[in-house]
Amino acid sequence: MEKILIIEDEEKLARFIELELEHEGYEVFKAVDGREGLALFEASSFDLILLDIMLPALNGIEVLRRIRQASDIPVILLTARDAVVDKVTGLDGGADDYITKPFAIEELLARIRVGLRKNISNNDKANNILDADRLRLNSASREVKVDGQLVELTRKEFDLLEFLLQNKNIVMERTTLLDRIWGFDYVGETNSVDVYVRYLRSKLEEPFGLNLIKTVRGVGYVIRDEE
Ligand code: CA
């Protein structure tokens, strides 16, 4: 269950958000001022923080500054209407997003979902993980797994797959792939890219029923996120 910390001194609002989030299946913790919020943040681990800016004891911007010294946890600011300076300061201070009071709960829930997804991809980035569908590539250990099962690739196959994953959703021309994977002084067959894409497909797609690498006719190849 994902854990969300609400730091908000307006108790009725905090209670309302708490009930809605619990209804959505989140585990919720509340703090009524900046100091208590920071203490909770330091004492436990959360997946996302909702942070009011105008707080007693320690204001939200200062709380945010201290959180950012320790963590890149997603933080959504709750700001008063028209407090433009607060929003700018907050985003400069490393907040991921803000929502202006009063807000529709559906909007807050949507932003929380976005924030939590960002958190997962941040963790993957920190762990050197690239993924597509059921495939996960670890750039550090140079391992590729599909459904958790290790797949042996040659150096060139790995490099090609990694480059396509790093440039997900961007169609890569054959010449670009040749330059990047085989080097500028490459003088072999220009169809090497096609040959290696075939190798990758035979190792990664056919055995696992995946369709990862798409051919863009006359141009090159792309790995897209699933729609
Ligand atoms: Ca407040």
Average pLDDT over the chain, rounded to an integer: 90
Of all residues in the chain, the percent with pLDDT exceeding 90 is: 64
User: Residues near 3 by Cβ (< 8 Å), separated by ≥ 6?
Assistant: 26, 27, 28, 29, 44, 45, 46, 47, 48
Ligand 1 center–CA 9 separation, angstroms? 5
Q: Taking the domains of the chain in order of start, what are their residue ranges? A: 3-120, 125-223
- What's residue 191's pLDDT? 83
- What's residue 175's pLDDT? 86
Residue 8 scores a pLDDT above 90: yes
Ligand 1 center–CA 7 separation, angstroms? 9
User: pTM of the prediction?
Assistant: 0.58
Ligand 1 center–CA 22 separation, angstroms? 21
Ligand 1 center–CA 135 separation, angstroms? 44
∠ at Cα 25 (71, 10), nearest 5°? 65
- What's residue 88's pLDDT? 75
pLDDT in tens, 14-51: 999 999 999 999 999 999 999 999 999 999 989 999 99
Ligand 1 center–CA 11 separation, angstroms? 9
pLDDT in tens, 154-206: 999 999 999 999 999 889 998 889 888 887 556 666 688 999 999 999 999 99
226 or 204: whose pLDDT is higher?
Answer: 204
- What's residue 211's pLDDT? 94
Ligand 1 center–CA 16 separation, angstroms? 14
Ligand 1 center–CA 211 separation, angstroms? 50
Ligand 1 center–CA 102 separation, angstroms? 12
Query: Whole-angstrom Cα distance, residue 60 to residue 66?
Result: 10
- What's residue 128's pLDDT? 83
- What's residue 189's pLDDT? 65
Ligand 1 center–CA 19 separation, angstroms? 19
* Fold that domain 3-120 belongs to in CATH: Rossmann fold (3.40.50)
Q: How confident is the model at residue 227 (pLDDT cuts 50, 70, 90)?
A: low
Same CATH topology for 3-120 and 125-223: the answer is no
Ligand 1 center–CA 15 separation, angstroms? 13
Ligand 1 center–CA 12 separation, angstroms? 11
Q: How confident is the model at residue 80 (pLDDT cuts 50, 70, 90)?
A: confident
- What's residue 225's pLDDT? 80
- What's residue 111's pLDDT? 92
Q: How confident is the model at residue 81 (pLDDT cuts 50, 70, 90)?
A: low
Ligand 1 center–CA 120 separation, angstroms? 29
Q: Contact at 8 Å (CB) between 219 and 194?
A: no
Ligand 1 center–CA 122 separation, angstroms? 29
Taking residues 74-100, report their average pLDDT: 83
- What's residue 1's pLDDT? 86
- In CATH terms, 125-223 corresponds, of 2.60.40.10, 1.10.3720.10, 1.10.10.10, 3.90.1300.10, to 1.10.10.10
* Cα–Cα distances in angstroms (integers) from residue 9 to residues 14, 32, 152, in the given order: 7, 4, 55
Ligand 1 center–CA 53 separation, angstroms? 6
Ligand 1 center–CA 126 separation, angstroms? 34
125 or 21: whose pLDDT is higher?
Answer: 21
